[in-house]
Structure 1
Amino acid sequence: MTTFAVIVPLVWLAWLIVTEWVPMFPLNDLTKGNVRGRVLAAAINYPFPLLIAAGLALHQTWSLITATALCVLIMAGHLQSWWLPYFGVSTEAQREVYRRDYGRTLKILPTEGHDVVIDVQHLVVGVLSLIMLATTLVVTLTA
């Protein structure tokens, strides 16, 4: 299970890199106008899965607790960035960013009555985040 748990954050990171830098419209909508935001997001997000994978690989109590805490932060960030706005808890600034950067991307969730709708790209991020948290918790709790 530890090996699988180490691989999941790396898959999460690979998904982010591919969907944030390889044009695959309508899965993503990469424009020159959002390069600065993508660079900032990369600088913030990319170290997390590397730290989680390293913490799991070290398999020390402190590193497993740290990896778990980072997974919780990622999940909380995903919920705050996507699910709360989907259910109506968003600011005008968030809605504008979503309209500008994700308004044309592929969505499978109902859009009617929602100012922000989670696109497929970020649904996959959410599923991978949940798997990452679950596997990290299993490894941490069974250590």
Structure 2
Amino acid sequence: MTTTIAIIVPFVWLGWLVVTEWVPMFPLNDLRPGNVGQRVLAAGINYPFPLLIAAGVALHRTWSLLAATALCLVIVGGHLWNWWIPYFGTATAAQRETYQREYSRTLKILPIEGHDVVVDVQHLVVGALSLLMLATTLIATLTG
């Protein structure tokens, strides 16, 4: 059962990304024709990760489970780097510019005052799903 859940969660994560990156749902997301190229690039980078994680868990070999766990750690680390470190710390000029261009108008529930970059609802869900993916992959790895 834990292996099945660990295989399903990456597909849920991927589904959330696909929907929020391609289906206009303002203010949840702010899709404009001008950012299609960036979304295609992000899809090319991000979409293979959950497929590889699910495949690694499904293969259920020690090396594949460890690789899947490592990929989950990369995803969580990337999320922390791109959203939480800028929110609680100092955002780089590139992070501030991307935020202003792509996410400044999206729905937020976290305090905005005093922050150059604020994690929006879309990316709060990505973060929660990333942690869930890491947790279920770790459980599959440790119980496998």
Smaller-chain TM-score bracket = over 0.9
How far has the Cα of 1:26 moved from its partner?
Answer: 0.2
Letter in 2 for 1:20: E
What does residue 83 of structure 2 align with? Answer: 82
**Distance (Å, rounded) in 1 between the aligned partners of 2:127 and 2:30:** 18
What does residue 15 of structure 2 align with? Answer: 14
What does residue 125 of structure 2 align with? Answer: 124
Runs of 4+ more than 2 Å apart:
none
Task: Show the 5 A alignment for 1:99-110.
Answer: 99-110=100-111
Letter in 1 for 2:130: S
Q: Identity rate of aligned residues, in percent?
A: 75
**Distance (Å, rounded) in 1 between the aligned partners of 2:74 and 2:94:** 22
How far has the Cα of 1:89 moved from its partner?
Answer: 2.4
TM-score, scaled to structure 2: 0.98
**Distance (Å, rounded) in 1 between the aligned partners of 2:122 and 2:27:** 10
Unaligned runs of 5+ in 2: none
Task: Show the 5 A alignment for 1:32-47.
Answer: 32-47=33-48
How far has the Cα of 1:88 moved from its partner?
Answer: 2.5
**Distance (Å, rounded) in 2 between the aligned partners of 1:13 and 1:110:** 27
- How many residues align? The count is 143
What does residue 139 of structure 1 align with? Answer: 140
**Distance (Å, rounded) in 1 between the aligned partners of 2:106 and 2:89:** 19
Question: Does the 8 Å contact 1:71/1:132 carry over to 2?
Answer: yes
Unaligned runs of 5+ in 1: none
What does residue 27 of structure 1 align with? Answer: 28
**Distance (Å, rounded) in 1 between the aligned partners of 2:132 and 2:115:** 26
TM-score, scaled to structure 1: 0.98
**Distance (Å, rounded) in 1 between the aligned partners of 2:48 and 2:58:** 15
Task: Show the 5 A alignment for 1:51-62.
Answer: 51-62=52-63
**Distance (Å, rounded) in 2 between the aligned partners of 1:5 and 1:56:** 7
What does residue 111 of structure 1 align with? Answer: 112
How far has the Cα of 1:133 moved from its partner?
Answer: 0.2
What do you get for the CA RMSD once the two structures are aligned? 0.6
Letter in 1 for 2:83: W
